[in-house]
């Protein structure tokens, strides 16, 4: 059923505004990161092919998360195919550079609804996938840091105990474990189902029937797919190190510190997510990543590795959007999903 001309123009205008806001936020983010990188005044030579490989590893990691997102939608009332689910998932990541992260939900829902997904289900699936991803990231960080050995220590002042000196890696492992457990509690099916029922989303059709059928099996699948994604993102960071410091990358591998690199990326990203008021965890993620990598790479090179990774990931997201947005559009003559237009439960 064709939409009235006025409605089509309104939707096109809204999409245009969203695109402009997202591109502005991405551009500002890139300029800020580039200024931070060049301000270090460190002379480096990058090997482009390794940077391209880092971007591809990053997109592969996102696709692992996107696969779980598709499985959540499949467990809901309006499942869609894998390709449109992955398209919506990958393109929507540009929205995280807009402060508040809400733009991710808006963009993702807008991209999957034309293929038959219910907007409210797409929004709930986005929240659930993200929280499961963060739980897996916390646990993977704990597993990667716990066995690592290093001489760097940090001193904490605890009330009643005085100063306590702890190894950096073990402190990071405890932080990852704590974050993983906190997120896991939230995504347990009974807990998340209750929380989702209490949240009021400004999206038509929100109600109990929009909630995907969550189960322990789906949660385990999500943790496994997310763990695979984190490993690929960690390897993306290793490829960036290899791009400007081949000897450093080989030293990391020889010392058995590849799990530490993977754990660093996971912990840094989870910490950046927790501070939701900053666009894409800007500043927080880089700070955690630099601190976690410094014992292995040194201060200067850990800074370069963290900032260069940010630029590579943004470039990969932009490239994916340029390729995917024009593809796999819903045919203009296709029928709208039968649930559209129905009033949501009061």
Q: Quick check: 156 pLDDT over 60? A: no
What is residue 344's DSSP assignment?
P
Model pLDDT, residue 15: 45
What is residue 210's DSSP assignment?
G
The DSSP code sequence of 48-62 is: HHHHHHHHHHHHHHH
Q: Quick check: 171 pLDDT over 50? A: yes
Model pLDDT, residue 154: 56
Model pLDDT, residue 220: 97
| Most confident region among 3-12, 62-71, 318-327 by mean pLDDT | 62-71
What is residue 282's DSSP assignment?
T
pLDDT digits (tens, 9 = 90+) for 12-57: 444 454 444 444 444 554 445 545 555 555 556 778 999 999 999 9
Separation of alpha carbons 116 and 224, rounded Å: 27
Q: Quick check: 202 pLDDT over 60? A: no
| Most confident region among 20-34, 82-96, 104-118, 222-236 by mean pLDDT | 222-236
pLDDT digits (tens, 9 = 90+) for 101-154: 678 888 899 899 989 898 889 999 999 999 999 999 999 999 999 888 665 655
For residue 64, what are the β-bridge partners? none
Query: Dihedral sign, CA of 65, 68, 72, 73?
Result: positive
Residue 89 near residue 108 (C-beta atoms within 8 A): yes
């Amino acid at each position: 059923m064709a939409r009235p001309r006025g409605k089509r123009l309104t939707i096109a205008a809204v999409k245009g505004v969203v695109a402009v806001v997202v591109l502005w936020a991405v551009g500002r983010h890139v300029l800020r990161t580039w200024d931070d990188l060049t301000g270090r005044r460190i002379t480096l030579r990058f090997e482009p092919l390794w940077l391209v490989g880092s971007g591809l590893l990053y997109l592969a990691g996102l696709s692992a998360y996107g696969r779980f997102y598709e499985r959540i939608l499949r467990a809901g009332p309006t499942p869609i195919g894998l390709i449109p689910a992955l398209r919506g998932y990958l393109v929507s990541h540009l929205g995280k550079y807009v402060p508040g992260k809400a733009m991710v939900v808006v963009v993702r829902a807008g991209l999957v609804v034309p293929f038959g997904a219910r907007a409210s289900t797409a929004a709930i699936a986005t929240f659930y996938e993200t929280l499961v991803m963060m739980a897996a990231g916390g646990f993977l960080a704990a597993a990667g840091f716990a066995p690592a050995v290093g001489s760097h220590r940090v001193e904490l002042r605890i009330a009643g105990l005085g100063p306590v000196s702890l190894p950096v890696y073990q402190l990071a492992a405890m932080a990852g474990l704590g974050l993983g457990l906190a997120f896991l509690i939230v995504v347990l099916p009974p807990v998340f189902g209750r929380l989702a029922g209490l949240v009021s989303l400004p999206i038509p059709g929100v109600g109990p029937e929009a909630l995907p059928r969550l189960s322990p099996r789906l949660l385990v699948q999500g943790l496994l797919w997310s763990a695979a994604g984190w490993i690929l993102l960690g390897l993306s960071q290793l490829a960036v190190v290899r791009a400007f410091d081949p000897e450093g990358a080989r030293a990391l591998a020889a010392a058995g510190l590849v799990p530490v690199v993977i754990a660093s990326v996971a912990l840094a990203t989870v910490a950046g997510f927790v501070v939701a008021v900053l666009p894409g965890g800007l500043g927080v993620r880089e700070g955690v990543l630099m601190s976690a990598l410094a014992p292995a790479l040194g201060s200067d090179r850990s800074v370069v590795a963290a900032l260069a990774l940010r630029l590579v990931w943004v470039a990969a997201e932009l490239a994916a959007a340029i390729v995917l947005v024009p593809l796999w559009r819903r045919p203009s003559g296709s029928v709208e999903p039968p649930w559209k237009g129905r009033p949501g439960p009061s």
